[in-house]
Amino acid sequence: MLRNNHGLRLVLFFVVIFFSSPQAFASDVPENKYIIGAGDILDVSVWKNDALTKLVTVLPDGYVSFPLVGEVKAAGKTASEFKKNLEEKLIQFIPQPSLSVIISRINMKIYIIGKVENPGMYSLNENTNVLQALTMASGLNPFAKRNEIKILRKVDDVTKIYEFMYDDVSAGSNLEQNIVMVRGDVIVVP
């Protein structure tokens, strides 16, 4: 009987991780929109103009350098916002520019520190929630304070702290704490 109860808990744990529908806090990240950041590589092409078809890297200051217009802010924008901004700048040089912007490589990193089996920096290439991120770090070590985990997130130059109660979330309650990670998040496991 005890073995079956343990198996049920394990199944519930994986159901919560893989089939829950975590949402980032609306004030932090537009729903289902990837936000461009430093290190991302963008494939920008202007229709019928090979000289303006470029792979550009978003620099640490958030800008890209593009022919004719110089530096253009890319970080903090979605691909469609960046495209619209670049079109507005190019229109003085090219009448009715037709642009395509594709995010060709994502450079999104999060950090997991403290009492996990493998602390460190992790690269993400898909939406990842807190439980999934902790799994990437091979889980909590036996000395972790499971219900005192914090997520540190920088939003508009202010660091916000989100609480994460591991036992509650892994048992299927307080799932709103299982937020989607964004670039630069730090998970602290005391």
pLDDT tens, residue order, the chain (190 aa): 444 444 444 444 443 333 333 333 333 444 557 889 999 999 999 988 888 999 999 999 999 999 999 999 999 999 999 999 999 999 999 888 899 999 999 888 999 999 999 999 999 888 899 999 999 999 999 999 999 999 999 988 899 999 999 999 999 999 999 999 999 999 999 9
Please tell me the pTM assigned to this model: 0.69
Residues of the chain with CATH 3.30.1950.10: 41-105
Task: Given CATH 3.10.560.10, say whether it is the number of domain 2-28+108-189.
Answer: yes
Tell me which long-range contacts 22-27 makes (C-beta under 8 A, separation of at least 24): 22/129, 22/130, 22/175, 22/178, 22/179, 22/180, 23/176, 23/179, 23/180, 24/179, 24/180, 24/182, 25/162, 25/179, 27/155
- The CATH number of the domain covering residues in 41-105: 3.30.1950.10
- Which pLDDT score, from 0 to 100, does residue 32 have? 57
